[in-house]
Every structure is written in C-alpha cells, then in structure tokens.
A and B are shown apart, each in its own frame.
Chain A
Amino acid sequence: MKVNGFVHPAQRDPRRLLSDHLRHDLGLTGTHVGCEHGVCGCCTVLFDGAPVRSCLMLAVQAEGHEVSTVEGLAVLGAPLHPVQQAFHECHGLQCGFCTPGFVMSVVGLLAQHPNPTREQIEEGISGNLCRCTGYASIRRAVQRASELSQQTPSPLRGEGWGKGR
C-alpha cells in the first residue's frame, strides 16, 4: 500500500487493523484511536482521497490503495497545510487528540466543497467527536481553512473525493 506517497511492504497479519498498522508498524502515530468502533473519528485518514475510519478497516484491505495521514499534509519544517493553519489560528484544538481526525475530515470536505455552506460544514465534521472545544472554534477553523486553501496552493487539493470513485 502507498502511505503519504511512499510504498510500504504488505502487512501479513490478516487481523491487524489499519489504524494499528499505521501507528505501530509504520510509526505514523498522528492517526489516533479513540473508540475502536468507528464513532469518534479520531482515526480518520484519507483512503484513495476520501475520509475513512482506519479503525474499521483491516490493513490488508488497504493493499493496492493510497492512504493519506496527517503526517503527509505538511512535511516537517514546511509551513502548515491550510487546514492545519486554520485550526491554529482559530484555536480549533485543545488537547489535540481528536485533531488529526478532524483535520483529515476537513481536508476531505474541502476537496469536495471548496466553499462549504454552514450546513456542509456541520455535515462534514459531524462524524468527529471533540470533547474539549465545544466545536465553535472548529466551525470557524473550517471556514478559515476554506479561505486559506484558496489563497495557498496545496499539493493535496484536487486529490480529494473524485479520485477512486
């Protein structure tokens, strides 16, 4: 499978979750696991461009597919991705545990709706739980991310929903 553009050897354990594989076999610990039953959204990654719960997939199911995790949005030392930058500016995170999942959901959302309406924003983040912020700052961050995305060229833009569907 390809993760953040790099090809990785196949996972042979048939019951290893994609989330565990990313975190503990590939060391990509930015993808978090909050519930392991597909409700909280902390483990959201892009699977062929679309947001999915990596805790509800087996690693072997990702063979031959492209997975993007939060680590792939901005390489170390590079400026933050517009969605990350917007979360920073709007105080869209506190403990930071749900944050990578939100960020990946919003990247997916903006790929589909570059200028999301209020309803599209609600819908786009309605699969992610946050226990710290009360969501107001996250809604503002999505709006801000939309503005920033249109000012800043991003390598991930255009790679979103369309692909693989």
Chain B
Amino acid sequence: MTTKWFGERVQRVEDDRLLRGRGRFTDDIQEGGDRALESCLVRSPYAHARINSIDVSAARALPGVVAVYVAADLPFGDTDLPILIPHPNLTHGRTQRCLASEVVRYAGEAVAFVVADSRYIAEDAAELVQVDYEPLPVVITPEVAAAAEHLVHDDVPGNVAAEMLQEVGDVGAAMKSAPHRKRLHFRFERGAASPMEARAVWARWSDPEQKLTVYDSTQSPTSIRGGLAVLFGLPESSVEVIAPDVGGGFGPKIMLFYPDELLVPFAAMQLGRPVKWTEDRQEHFLAVNHERGQVHEVEVGFDDAGRVLALSVDFIHDAGAYTPYGIILPIITAAQVPGPYRVPNYRVRFRDVYTNATPTSPYRGAGRPHACFVMERTLDAIASDLGLDRPEVRRRNFIQPDEFPYDLGVAWQDGNTVIYDSGNYPALLEKAMQMLGPRPAGDHIGMGLGAYVEGTGVGPYEGAHVQVLVSGKVVAATGIPSQGQAHATVWAQIVADELGVDVADVEVTSGDTRRFPWGVGTFASRGAVTAGNAMSVAARMVADKAKHIAADHLEADPADLELVGGKVSVKGSPDRGIPLAAVSVLANPVRYAFGGGTEAATQFTSRPRPGPPLQDGEQPGLEATGYYSPPGSTWAAGCHAAYVHIDPKTFRMEVLKYVVVHDCGRVINPLVVEGQIEGGVAQGIGGAFYERLAYDADGQLRNASFMEFLMPYATEVPAIEIDHIETPSPLNPLGIKGAGEAGVIPVGAVIGSAIEEALGVSITEMPLSPLKLYELSRA
C-alpha cells in the first residue's frame, strides 16, 4: 500500500454542499410529491403523575388536524420499548411506552401525537388535548433516589435498577496497611449534549411498493431499520432508513427508539401520506436523553511517595426515569476511573437509580469525564497532603510504556475486561507540561492538569462496500452515519491509498441502508476504527481482484502488480499497465456493450484465459464488501493542562492557556482530529463552567432553553494548542484508535484543579459557575 493520503491534512470533501446551503438535513426532506403532514407531541408537564383520562376530541375537531393518537390507538401501545443493552446486573430494567397512558415519570414524557396540515395547527391542537393528571411524589437527584422515600416505579424497591460490585486485588487489606488514607466526595450534575440540529423524523409509506422510507436524524439508521421491520412485521428489505446530513449527535442520537421514531412511520403508513416531525429546542431539552449525574464516595490509600496502593469508589448513577440504554454509563465510569494509572487494588461499586427526570444515555465522554474527575482530583488531593508537585504524583503512578497489554481486570462495555492495547502516558504528560510553559504573571491564576485514557473502537463490527465504476471513479459506502466527523473525507483517504487513486475520485455514502444495510452505528469513538478498517479491508479486496484480472491481460503474476495513479501496472514498469476503469469493464463480462468502454468485455473480443467468463467463485464487477470486527477496544489517551484566571470579584473565568497532547494511534487526517479535539474541549469547558441542567424539587427543568442553559460562544472558548504522539494500536491493521470523545474527557478535572489553585477553595463538583465560586469563597 502506498501511503499517499493517510496522515495528510486533506480538506473535507463534504464542505461544498454544506457551505452553499445545499446540505440535506431531515427537516429539509421533501420527496415523493405530497408535502408531508406535520406533527407534534403532547408531553407531560408533570415529572410524576397518574393519568386519569385523556380527551382528544377537541383536538381532533380542529380544522386542519388529520389524526390524533393516544396509546390505545396504537397496535404497539401497550408494548414496553426495548432495553437496548440487557445486562445480568440490570435486575430492574424499565422502559417507557411509546405514549404513556397510565403513569408519566418525567416532565416531557409523551402522551399523545397530533398530525396536521402544518406544525402550527398541530401545536394548536396539542393545546386542546385535555389530560387529567394526578400528581405523585417526585424523586429528583441521585441522593434522594437512593434514600428511596418515594419510588419512581412501584415495583422497583429502593429505586435501584442495577447494582454492580467489582474488585481487583485486596482493597481491604491494602487500605488497612497503607501509610496514608483519605476519603473524598465528588458530585457531577446532569448535562446535555445539545447538538445544533435537534431531532427530526420523516417517513413515507409506498403502498404500491409496500415499502417504508424513513429519514431520521439518528446515529444508527441500521438499528432503526431493524427495529421498524420487527415492529411493523415487514421484511428488512422493505424498510429503508437514511440518516442524511445530521447536525451533530454527540451521543443522544444513538438512543432508540424515541417515541417519534415509531409514531411518524406508523402515521405515514396509516394515513398514506408522508409525515414529518421536527423537534423544537425546548422538547429537545426535556425529551432527549441527558447524562453526567453521578455522586462518588472515594477512599484512597497511598504511600509516602504518593503512589496509590488502594482505591475504593462507590457511586450512584442518576438513570432518570427509565433505563433504555442499560447500564453502559456506570459500567464505563467504573472501568475508567483508574485511567492511565496503576491501581494495584481497586474496588468499585455502583448503584443505578431511578429519578423522575429525563432518561440518560451516553453523551460525548459517556461516563469518562466523571471518572477522570474522580481520579485526577484524588491525585491532586494526594499531592496536596504530601506537599508534592502535581505532575510528579502523576509520574509516580503512571502505567509504563513497557507494561502493555495492560489488563485492568474490570468489566468493559463490550463484555470483555479492560485491556489497554498500547500507549505512552509519561510522554503525554512531559510534552503537555513543556507546551504549557511558565506560569503567567498575576494573582488568582491556577494551573490545572488531567490525564485520561479512552476505550474506543468498540465492536461488534462495521462493514463497507467499495466499487470501481467503469469510469474509473470509486464509490464506497458504510452503514454508519456522519454527524460532522468528515467520514466522507477520511474513508476516501483510506480507499484512495488502497486503490492508488486520487481522493477526489472516491465518493463515500454513509448512513443510508439503501447503500449499505449492515452495521451498528456512530458512537463510542468507534467510526474510524471499525468502519475505517472495514473500508481498508473492502478496498484491499477490490485491489486484489483488480490485480488478478489485470494479471491475465498483462500476462504477469498478480504479486508483481501494483495500483498506482489510477492504473494497475507492473511494479517498476508503469508503462506496462491498464487503467482501473478498463479493469472495471473487464470485471463484468457482458453480452451487450452499453458504452463506457464495455465493448472490451463482450464475447467476441479476445479473452486471456480459457473456460467460462466467470469461473467458480468469481463475482462480476470490480467491487467487494468487507467487514472489520475488533477483537477488543483500542485505548486512546491524552493529557491536558491549562492556566486559568478567576476574577476575585466577579468570579468570571478566563482560560489563559490550554494545551492538549493527544494519542489516537495513527492519525488519518490531522485536520479532522484537531477539529474533534477543539470541539471536545469546548464542550468540556461548557460542562465545567457554564452548562447545568437545573431541575427543581418538582422535577421541572427550569432552564430548558439556550437563554438559560449557557452553551459557550466563541467568547468563552480559548485558542487551544494541540500536539500528538502516535502509539499505533496493535489490534487493527491501520493502527488507529478513536478520537471523537477524547477532547471533552479531562476538561472538568483540569478546570477544577486550576480553580482550586487559583482561589484556594476545594473543588469537588461539576459544573461550576461564578455563583458557585462565590459561595465556596465565602464558606
């Protein structure tokens, strides 16, 4: 393989249409003639209430209303939505129904669905739906849930959905004999991913074709397709799901099924017209999954040198009202607390508890920012107790470069245990401290640092189809969609290298089950590892096929051929070759020449070998489908460091300098990876200081708008300096690791550490705010 494109700062091929306003997001879809009916969900204003009755008669009578559905109108109305990832420890998993008819358990839970000529009319009608609610006691915050004075689900004792205890080594003995012991308490509040495009679904049922077409702003069109086929009793081949341009995902769009994902296709089938639903921002805050709410009790034992001897972590995860995503989040936290550090004796227990709040599922970082915060704050506390330099405490605890593979012995989200594949953690720290440089002059300035690992590239698998057209252009497709990660560019780089063509000659489609029906989804920083390697596998199969076909015509050994410059030629003799376009023609023996040079593959042209045109095992076309299924996760890592200034009067935060050293194995496109990191850090800064989902005791989300949920603008995000080291993953042929979530993971720990030093107050929670710092300073 010539490595011409891999590793280059190739500018994105997807930009042009997006910049011209010709992107195609779900709410933009208009196809099939009829303008789609528009719809609206009626949502519970109560966080916990019994539904005595629902009267939709006035709504149905409003001119322009086409249909109003409640649970009783749905053939699947009394079906619990699936638990996506069952786990033996999830003993009391509960999911909502598409439309609630008996009890609502969070403010925003859907109770009715209105379809009308326009969203305006649908919203008018929604206001006419009369629901008689009988409020029930509300359970909010993980601490209140664990106290279990009231229950979210009558049949779930103690509000505990799941409990899990893991221990490596002997924590009791090691703690007892440790020269120093310390107890710490850490708290993380809920946050929200908040992609700029909220969710949307568009569906059409074609009666003549008996075919359902769905556009969905999802991170997993293949799973949506599978689920719709099951629900509606259709063969999968009759269901097409497309994630067109998706305006950011960051996790919550991997969740399925949100009620609309079933209701919109159902209504389209019932009504015989396209139906669409586009979420508004307030709904997005209320009804799209959150994350991050956790409370940690920590005990650490350490020696005089600051080395961790034993670590015990007991935490509560706020699941919200239901557990559709299983217990993946607390499993990840439990697995990722030790991070890049050697923790010889580690015990971790979690309880996953129900609250009357929006359910949770992964949001960029997924359990890791909290894990990193716990470990890094603990190391800072050790440094402080022993009067040691904070970086030095890290150095003394790092897993060393010669210790890989390193088996942590705790459960991982793919069913295996955590085994770090490769890395060089000390190098990350040294480089970061070097980049950070001397402390700026002035008061109320603090230095913060944080190191992390991230398990990326989880299975089960992804696949890809690659085809060389008779024009010589290449098309490639994979099942996973893009939400801005430049898949079309980076896959093209990988394919172009394997086939020896220009990256501009490779056109990639992703997230469209019509083009590639198999696969899992875009989440867990897995796209590059899984689909990237699948692209490489498929493209290499095409290259091999091209060599075999060309070998017959060039009377050469396939092993002596190479793909360079759009041709298959004899190594070292570029003149002795045939264009890939011609090989594509020859790959498909035809009876009828249809242009494009295909006369060369008809029956009266000379053939280089005897026997039937296609021999046993051969398939027509210069194409191949390949899959990649990782043996385990690849472990990316990084170290961030910063100088932060806090104004002692207003408690405004200013990040003076922020540096990142990042290792995601071999980098396919630095431009793209740096963009992922910069975006991740910005989200981390938001999560550390600005963004907080403010629930009151009644379970009302008091800041469900961008006016009060303060996402950073350009004015809040500093310039970030980035450098890379590369420890290739030994687990996949390309040596790559994931990069999507990394940027966000240590930011809370870094900011917390820096503010603690700047103000001399103890930082044990996230997110912070000027008000919180004011309160801490006065305490």
Contacts and interface: CB of A to CB of B under 8 A. Distances in A.
B342 interface: no
Given A29-B21, A94-B679, A39 B706 contact: yes
**For chain B, what secondary structure do more than half of its interface residues adopt (helix, strand, loop), or is it mixed?**
loop
Interface in A13-59: 13, 15-16, 23, 27-37, 39-40, 42
B715 A122 contact: yes
A103 B719 CA distance: 20
A13 B193 CA distance: 35
Contact of B20 (A40, A80, A91, A125): A80
Interface in B1-53: 11-12, 14-16, 18-25, 27-28, 30
Interface stretch (B242-250, B560-568, B633-641, B771-779): B242-250
Interface stretch (A135-143, A147-155, A157-165): A135-143
B194 interface: yes
B427 interface: no
Interface string B229-253: 0000000000000000111101000
Interface stretch (B322-330, B479-487, B535-543, B591-599): B479-487
A34 B197 contact: yes
A127 B713 CA distance: 7
B719 A136 contact: yes
Contacts of B247: 32, 34, 95-98
Given A91-B11, A96-B245, A126-B715, A37 B705 contact: yes
A84 B675 CA distance: 18
Contacts of B714: 122, 125-126, 128, 130, 135, 138-139
A146 interface: no
B717 interface: yes
B706 A30 contact: no
Contact of B679 (A13, A28, A88, A133): A133
Nearest to A142: B714
B261 interface: no
Contacts of B21: 28-31, 69-71, 100
A22 to B, nearest CB: 10
Given A15-B120, A40-B196, A95 B248 contact: yes
Contacts of A122: 714-715
A129 interface: yes
B675 to A, nearest CB: 5
A87 B196 contact: no
Given A87-B19, A88-B11, A89-B11, A134 B717 contact: yes
Contacts of A74: 20
Q: Which of A36, A76, A91 has the most CB of B within 10 A?
A: A91
A132 interface: yes
B663 interface: no
A35 B281 contact: yes
A138 B713 CA distance: 11
Contact of A96 (B484, B680, B719): B484
A35 B705 contact: yes
Given A70-B21, A128-B713, A87 B679 contact: no
Given A39-B706, A131-B250, A136-B678, A95 B20 contact: no
A126 B440 CA distance: 27
Nearest to B486: A94
Sorting the interface of chain B by its residue count into under 10, 10 to 19, 20 to 34 or 35 or more gives 35 or more
A95 B678 contact: no
A94 B245 CA distance: 11
B711 interface: yes
A97 B713 contact: no
A93 B196 contact: no
Contacts of A36: 280-281
A134 B250 CA distance: 14
B715 A94 contact: no
B245 A95 contact: yes
A126 B713 contact: yes
B112 to A, nearest CB: 21
A147 to B, nearest CB: 17
A95 B245 CA distance: 7
Contact of B197 (A13, A29, A95): A95
B640 to A, nearest CB: 13
A137 B675 CA distance: 8
B704 to A, nearest CB: 11
B681 A97 contact: no
Contact of A93 (B15, B195, B483, B706): B15
Contact of A70 (B20, B30, B706, B743): B20
A36 B196 CA distance: 11
Nearest to B246: A95
Interface of B: 11-12, 14-16, 18-25, 27-28, 30, 120, 193-198, 245-248, 250, 280-281, 483-486, 671-672, 674-675, 678-683, 705-707, 711, 713-715, 717, 719-720, 743
Interface of A: 13, 15-16, 23, 27-37, 39-40, 42, 69-71, 73-74, 76, 80, 84, 87-89, 91, 93-100, 103, 122, 125-139
10 contacts: A23-B28, A29-B28, A30-B20, A31-B21, A34-B281, A70-B21, A91-B675, A94-B675, A127-B713, A134-B680
